[in-house]
Chain A
């Protein structure tokens, strides 16, 4: 079987830290062919580092290559719909970083475009491929705790999380030339803040574990960063059609040395599943000025294996014409939940997530 030939669009943070290393590890099943980024020099550095033969500053040039089977879209969410629809029109299968898009209408357009073009689409919700969450879902499926009635998944991030990146992140910032180094993810013109940056993971996990559709969402948010334009804090409650309840609280400005961590509890009619990263730091270094947890981000969530598993699963679905490990409709629903949280936090009332208009997408 010949390898799947892949082109990656958007050589930013998530590409360097997760997707490109995972693609390299999946050789020879997957062969990295080309990388496109609006910053040609960054695309070229990524191509050199990860072994792609070509670098482009226009993703259309990458899509025009007939020798590329699938694209991995790692750009900001406001570009996902345009690029996915273009890739589908070019006959490329698409794996797209979460969140699926900036709006539900865009997500529906992505589903329609890929369905009509007969290409496969999957959104890279890495938590679905993280061993701890897979074990939790397996326990639920085998009835270990009865019917799921309540899920809480909280996430904590230190504000230093993005400080150590090698590549500049201010490309989209219109004031970058004036020394403003904030990335697009912090700017109101490009991002909705915590609800989409990371809480879309939580809304997806909660819905996945509950196994029902949400009927209403209530959320409150805050911009705690004096220089912030979008919320860095979100707390959200979700009511599901089956009567279950979900809750998530995301705090993204913790002290710089604090470990990224997650707290999850799934309460069922016959038991409880819980996993608290704060109790299970695999590496703790305590110095005179405090403790650090340098391995939490990479080991607790098993990020490397999660991205490898998700890309391998998508590739296998293409190669065997088999089922996708995660249907794109699932990502559409998680997006709808997170956007309902954004609306709720603005209006301070319960909000019904956008209904699916065209039934469940199949990912073709």
Chain B
């Protein structure tokens, strides 16, 4: 793994503590994982640009590989295929539900929104790095400013570009399986 690009989520101030918690057994029995990534960005493939960092993060914190994938590629925001919905089954039988999309409306307060929810018998871990804002309720309505929060969208895109051609990385084997699943409408094993 040492020659692989480093996932920026591993050092992100919101996501980094999750590594310690999960690997330290804080969840107890792992029940489920839900991850979503949405952007306003109208170009690029969300499966790679959002999915690669999120799924890689899941693989690294759980220390388990994904063994099968069901995926569907849909049009949500417009005429183009801009969304992926994935069901990933890990080697330990954990099932992760992953929503990815370039469909956030222009008026949305954030350019990028990630959410991660890990459910266990002993703990639930919810990461919402965009849940940071100053809200001003004035005569003309409500305005929200989160411009001071650290942008990491470009970091994710750089990671996605770096791993996109690395077919041997576990996460890219999941991405490839997701494409085969969407094309065949069937559950696909991850090679």
Contacts and interface: CB of A to CB of B under 8 A. Distances in A.
B77 A149 contact: yes
Nearest to B33: A249
A284 interface: no
Contacts of A247: 85, 97, 99
Contacts of B104: 272
Interface in B1-59: 28-29, 31-32, 34, 36
Interface string A152-168: 10101001000000000
A141 interface: no
Contact of A272 (B70, B87, B105): B105
Interface string A310-351: 000000000000000000000000000000000000001110
A279 interface: yes
A68 interface: no
A235 B32 CA distance: 9
A349 B32 contact: no
A226 to B, nearest CB: 9
Given A245-B74, A245-B76, A247-B97, A254 B124 contact: yes
Interface string B96-118: 01010101110110000000010
Contacts of B108: 272
Contact of B105 (A239, A271, A278): A271
A222 B95 contact: yes
A233 interface: yes
A253 interface: yes
Q: Interface residues of A: mostly helix, strand, loop or mixed?
A: strand
B126 to A, nearest CB: 6
B77 A218 contact: no
Contacts of A81: none
Contacts of B83: 150, 245
B167 interface: no
Contacts of B117: 154
B148 to A, nearest CB: 20
Nearest to A270: B105
Chain A contact-residue range equals: 20 to 34
A350 B31 CA distance: 23
B72 A269 contact: no
B85 A237 contact: yes
A7 B54 CA distance: 53
Nearest to A224: B31
Given A220-B87, A251-B119, A237 B103 contact: no
A79 to B, nearest CB: 30
A143 interface: no
A253 B103 CA distance: 32
A272 B76 CA distance: 12
Nearest to B27: A255
Contacts of B95: 220, 222, 233, 235
Nearest to B185: A350
A254 B107 contact: no
Nearest to A235: B97
Given A156-B119, A235-B97, A253 B31 contact: yes
A267 B126 contact: no
Nearest to B82: A149
B187 interface: yes
B36 to A, nearest CB: 8
Given A220-B87, A233-B31, A251-B119, A267 B76 contact: yes
Given A245-B76, A255-B121, A150 B103 contact: yes
Interface in A259-284: 267, 269-272, 278-279
Contact of A149 (B34, B76, B93, B97): B76
B70 A218 contact: yes
Nearest to A250: B32
Interface string B107-139: 110000000010111111010100100000000
- Nearest first, the 6 closest Cβ-Cβ pairs linking A and B are A149-B76, A235-B97, A249-B97, A251-B119, A251-B32, A150-B76
Given A149-B103, A233-B31, A279-B131, 8 more contacts: A224-B121, A233-B95, A235-B97, A237-B70, A245-B83, A247-B99, A269-B78, A349-B187
26 contacts: A149-B75, A150-B101, A220-B87, A222-B95, A233-B31, A235-B32, A235-B87, A237-B85, A239-B72, A243-B74, A245-B85, A247-B85, A249-B97, A254-B119, A254-B124, A255-B28, A255-B120, A255-B121, A255-B122, A255-B123, A255-B124, A267-B101, A271-B105, A271-B107, A348-B70, A349-B187
Interface of A: 149-150, 152, 154, 156, 159, 218, 220, 222, 224, 233, 235, 237, 239, 243, 245, 247, 249, 251, 253-255, 258, 267, 269-272, 278-279, 348-350
Interface of B: 28-29, 31-32, 34, 36, 70, 72, 74-78, 83, 85, 87, 89, 93, 95, 97, 99, 101, 103-105, 107-108, 117, 119-124, 126, 128, 131, 185-187
